[in-house]
Amino acid sequence: QKEGYRFFMEKEIYEQARVISETLMGRISADSIVLDELSPELLEGINTIKICACGTSYHSGLVASYLFERLAKVRANVEIASEFRYKEPLLTPDTLFVVISQSGETADTLEALKIAKAAGLKTLAICNVDNSSIVRLADATLLTRAGIEKGVASTKAFATQVATLWMVALHIGALKGTIDQQTLASEIHTLLRTPNALHVKDGLHEKIHRLSKRYLHGHGFFFIGRDIFYPLALEGALKLKEISYMHAEGYPAGEMKHGPIALADSGLFTIALMPQTLLYEKTKSNVEELSARDATILAISPKPFDLADDFIQTGDHAHPMSEFFEMMLITQLLALEVAVRLGNDVDMPRNLAKSVTVE
Ligand code: F6R
C-alpha cells in the first residue's frame, strides 16, 4: 500500500496537498468559515485559549498560539501535556481548553483533558481519529481528516492540524469581530490555496536528495526561525532527530546569540527558515552571525542568500502561512533524505511508537 513510494512517511508527505483539501472541504464558503462543530455556546464568554498537546501536536499548538492572538485577538498559551498535568494549573472559566492529538490516545494529553473537564472548562479536541478516547471525552471535536497516518514520524497530521487551527482562529476572529470582512476574505483566499504550497514541485525532491549528502556527518543541526517559523523550526528538528538519529534542535533565530552560537563551526548545520513575509531582515542578520562563525548554512527562502552553503528557493508567496507550508514540506523531505542516506528505517525509527499510551 505504499503506492510506489519507498516509505509510508514519503507517501504521506506527498499526500499533504490532498488531505488539506479534504480538511477544508465543506468548512469554508467564499467569505466565511463554517465550523458547525463549534457551537455558539462553546465559544460564549471565552477570553483565553489554553492549548495542550505532546510532540508534533504541541508544535502545531505553538503555531496556533500565534494565530489566535494575531487574528482572533484572544489570549492563547500552549503547554506540553506531561508538564501541565502536574503543575497544579490555575484554570479560569473564561478559558477554552484545546487538546491536539493525531491518535486521540496519547496518555498525557488525555489526562490533561480530564483535568480541564474536572475544572469545569469547555473543551475542544483537534484530532485525527474519530471515536478515540480524546474525541469521546471532549465537548466538541474538529476532525483533521488526514487519513490513517502510518509513518511514526508525523507529517500530514501536522499539516492538517495547522490548517484546522488556522480556520478556528479565523472563525473566532470573525465571530468576535476582530477580523474585518476584507481581511477574512483574503485569509480565506490564501487558505484555499494551501494545497498549491504543498505540491512537490518538479526537481525539488531530487535537489534535496542531492544536497542531503552534505548533511550526514556534522555534530548537529540547528533549525532556526522567527514567529510561526520558530515552531516550524522545532518541528523540522524533531522530524530530523526522530528518523536520522542526529542531534537537532529548533531555536528562535533571535535566541542563538544568547548561548547556542557558541556551538557554531563548520560542523554545525544550520537550517535557516527565511520567509519574505515575516521578519526577513531580522532573521537574515541572525543567519549572518552564524555564517561569520563558519556554520554550514542551508537557507530556505524565496530570496537568494549569498552566504548560504546551500539554498532552496521557495515560491514568491504573499502570505506567511503559504511560506510556512512550503517550508514545512522542504524540512520533511530533508529529514527523509538524510535518514535514507544513513540507511535508517524511516517508518519504524528505533525506540519510538506511533501512539504513546503510557506516560
Ligand atoms: C512526532 C510524533 C510524536 C507525536 C506525539 C503526540 O513525529 O509523531 O511527537 O506527535 O507522540 O501524538 P498524538 O498527536 O497522537 O497525541
Pairing between β-strand 220-225 and β-strand 268-273 as defined by DSSP bridges:
parallel
Respond yes or no: is residue 354 known to be catalytic.
yes
pLDDT for 355 equals: 83
pLDDT for 336 equals: 98
For ligand 1, which residues put their CB under 6 angstroms from it? 54-57, 101-103, 106, 109, 153-154, 238, 242, 355-356
Q: How confident is the model at residue 356 (pLDDT cuts 50, 70, 90)?
A: confident
Q: Whose CA is nearest to atom 10 of ligand 1?
A: 56
- Mean pLDDT, rounded, for 329-340: 98
**Using one digit for the tens of pLDDT, what is the confidence trace for 314-325?**
999 999 999 999
Q: Whose CA is nearest to atom 8 of ligand 1?
A: 154
Residues 6+ apart with CB under 8 A from 33: 27, 167, 170, 171, 174, 184, 188
**Using one digit for the tens of pLDDT, what is the confidence trace for 3-16?**
999 999 999 999 99
Q: What is the mean pLDDT of the chain?
A: 96
- Mean pLDDT, rounded, for 19-24: 97
Does the model's pTM come out above 0.90? Answer: yes
Complete edge-to-edge strand list for the sheet that includes strand 48-53 = 75-80, 48-53, 95-101, 122-127, 140-143
User: Grid cell 478515540 — which residue?
Assistant: 132
Residues 6+ apart with CB under 8 A from 250: 222, 223, 224, 225, 230, 231, 232, 233, 234, 235, 236, 237, 238
User: Can you give the three-state secondary structure of 217-229, one letter per residue?
Assistant: CCCEEEEEECCCH
- Which residue out of 73, 114, 117, 354 is catalytically annotated? 354
| Beta-bridge partners for 141 | 125
Ligand 1 centroid to Cα of residue 316, in Å, is: 31
Ligand 1 centroid to Cα of residue 92, in Å, is: 28
**Three cell numbers at 175?**
465571530
How many Å apart are CA 59 and CA 181, to the nearest integer?
A: 29
**Three cell numbers at 352?**
519510538
pLDDT for 358 equals: 84
- Mean pLDDT, rounded, for 278-299: 96
| Beta-bridge partners for 77 | 50
CA 70 to the chain's CA centroid: 17
Ligand 1 centroid to Cα of residue 37, in Å, is: 24
**Using one digit for the tens of pLDDT, what is the confidence trace for 171-189?**
999 999 999 999 999 999 9
pLDDT for 349 equals: 87
